[in-house]
Chain A
């Protein structure tokens, strides 16, 4: 029984089956931002799309960083104090009525850009990495999600998230008719 199983494994690995690469399962239609993008706009993109993070690229689409919701929450700069977040929640409804009162903090927040909060040295995968490389990367780096995918010249080619890794599991039902 054991021999039978291992023989089958061998044939799967070496003869019949092609394995997926990161390039096959990544999202190619990437939403990215620029280091100079306002932090308010970047946060908006994260929240609207439900992304955990976005790659940051320069004008030539070379990867220069990643910005994640985690980075935004962890940032302890003066404008990221608990009181600022809390104040924002509370004053937003009042802003239209009484904008002048909070002008200073509003101006400061509007001037923040992605470069101030991004991680400039993100973990990346090459597009020719295997599905298993990606699985191991997500397993070993629990903070990392998503992972920008680059070519060997460092240009952004796509992005891969835990959701992309789990897609095969979520489509198991499609195999029930096997």
Chain B
């Protein structure tokens, strides 16, 4: 494994630079939609100055009380709505309640981050040590998000091995 002449990789070499993010004011259902339609596990939350203020993950949406408490009701609505007119008053109330929730109600305000000069080794170690965390926002000195790195980005080299 002679690699002495190869340059050291950094997080910048593997991170995704086209960032899909939300703001604390984004409706929670829009964030859920972004997660489900893109197949993301999490989204960075940025303020109006594009600074990182949190992260929201699929796990947060399943576990944080505000949205999760209504999930069983919603799945029943999906199934029963066409036939059940009687309970609509109750449903309407819950829909209104959930529609008023924003990202701020469920986000993690102290997300794990990586600096933009982190080495490849730092990235892998961080994923190994923090098994709940995926993806990880990559920030510069001003806390601006410059990228996002996920477990997929670690595994990509192995997956494209066959092509090489």
**Contact assessment for B158 and A50 in the assembled complex, using a CB-CB cutoff below 8 Å:** no
**Contact assessment for B152 and A178 in the assembled complex, using a CB-CB cutoff below 8 Å:** no
Least CB distance, B119 to chain A, in whole angstroms: 9
Select the stretch in B44-52, B107-115, B121-129, B140-148 that faces chain A: B121-129
Contact of B71 among A41, A70, A163, A165 (CB under 8 A): A165
User: A-facing mask of B96-123, CB < 8 A → 1, else 0?
Assistant: 0011000000000000000000001100
* B20 within 8 A of partner (CB): no
Contact of A135 among B32, B37, B62, B120 (CB under 8 A): B62
B62, closest chain A residue (CB) = A138
Interface residues of A in 33-59 (CB under 8 A from B): 39-41, 43-44, 46-48, 50, 52
**Contact assessment for A85 and B158 in the assembled complex, using a CB-CB cutoff below 8 Å:** yes
**Contact assessment for A16 and B84 in the assembled complex, using a CB-CB cutoff below 8 Å:** yes
**Contact assessment for A142 and B132 in the assembled complex, using a CB-CB cutoff below 8 Å:** yes
Residues of chain B touching chain A, judged by Cβ–Cβ distance below 8 Å, are: 1-3, 6-7, 9, 13-14, 28-29, 32-33, 35-37, 39, 41, 58-59, 61-63, 67-68, 70-72, 74-81, 84, 86-92, 95, 98-99, 120-121, 124-125, 127-128, 131-132, 151-152, 154-162, 164
Please list the 5 inter-chain residue pairs (A to B) with the smallest Cβ-Cβ separation, ordered nearest first: A168-B74, A88-B157, A50-B39, A95-B164, A47-B159
With an 8 Å Cβ cutoff, the count of chain A residues facing the other chain is 66
Residues of chain A touching chain B, judged by Cβ–Cβ distance below 8 Å, are: 5, 8, 11-12, 16-20, 24-25, 39-41, 43-44, 46-48, 50, 52, 69-70, 72-74, 82-93, 95-96, 101, 105, 109-110, 131-132, 135, 138-139, 142-143, 145, 162-163, 165-173, 175-176, 178
